[in-house]
Amino acid sequence: MRYLAIGDIHGYSDVLSRLLRLVDVKPEDWIITLGDYVDRGPDSRGVLDQLIALHRRGRLIALRGNHDTMMLEARNDPELLEEWIHCGGNATLASYSSAVLGESLMEVPREHWAFLEDDCLDWYEIDTHFFVHANADPDLALEEQPLYLLHWEPLFDARPHCSGKIMICGHTKQRSGLPRNLGHTICIDTWVYGEGWLTCLDVATGKIWQANRRGEERIGWLTDPREETPL
């Protein structure tokens, strides 16, 4: 059994499909997606369809990212809808309908709302690691973490968490296209919507699989934090 963490997907359903094939996910594996399923890329709808199918099979643990939260909040607030559109929500709406953007969210299927609101978690932990979308206060237990930190806080010079577990996060894009490994913290948002990659990390072994928008794929290993050249 493997715990396989996947970074910010941002509407790239084709890249997600290729990454999952490259990883060769087994029935006993657990996939942990770190949030930001929507916005930026061309097929947020297709990403959510894939994740919902995985969740129904019982082997997906999906976290909620800030872009997913913005989509939820945009339903009932015109100002938040406008803000979301300017943060990449226009691409998400276009994946559901060719109608005028921002006029309505009625085309979003009920199961997509239910997945984002009810099935996604704000954090998850196993014996050795814990998983968040953005960041966590190193001095607070996971159940005490403010949602702002979990969803929005960028990763600066993180300190080890009081639990002693390694934090796996996304949200802070690594423009190099490579994960950032601080030893006690690993960021795997590797900028798939830019010039980077979508990353899957086997948290036990440090093995990495990556796919990008250009159709390229590669496999490597997490860099030791004391080294300079990953993969």
Instruction: Give the pLDDT confidence of 131-168 residue by residue, as tens digits.
Output: 999 999 999 999 999 999 999 999 988 999 999 999 99
Rg (CA), the chain: 17
Q: Across the chain, where does the E strand assignment appear?
A: 3-6, 30-33, 60-62, 123-125, 129-132, 166-169, 180-181, 185-187, 198-202, 207-211, 217-221
HSE-up (13 A, CA, CB side) for residue 166: 15
24 Cβ contact partners less than 8 Å away, ≥ 6 residues apart:
none
Q: What is the pLDDT of residues 21-37, one digit of tens each?
A: 999 999 999 999 999 99
Share of the chain above pLDDT 70, in %: 94
228 pLDDT tier (thresholds 50, 70, 90): very low
What the block records as the tokens of 186 is 């690993």
Dihedral in degrees, nearest 10, Cα atoms 60, 58, 66, 219:
10
CB 157 within 8 A of CB 187: no
Distance CA 16, CA 21 (A): 9
Q: For position 200, what pLDDT does the model report?
A: 98
pTM score, two decimals? 0.95
Token digits of residue 212: 């990008």
Residue with tokens 């226009």: 90
Evaluate the CA torsion angle 143, 144, 150, 155 in order and state its sign: negative
Helix (H/G/I), strand (E/B), else coil: 195 = coil
Q: Can you tell me the distance from the alpha carbon of 67 to that of 80, in angstroms, rounded to the nearest whole number?
A: 12
3-state helix/strand/coil string of 145-168: CCHHHHHHCCCCCCCCCCCCCEEE
Instruction: Give the tens place of pLDDT for each residue, 35-86.
Output: 999 999 999 999 999 999 999 999 999 999 999 999 999 999 999 999 999 9
In whole angstroms, what is the distance from residue 207 CA to residue 13 CA? 22
Q: In the chain, what are the domains?
A: 3-221 (3.60.21.10)
* Percent of the chain clearing pLDDT 90 (strictly above): 90
Give the confidence band of 206 by pLDDT, cuts at 50, 70, 90.
Answer: very high
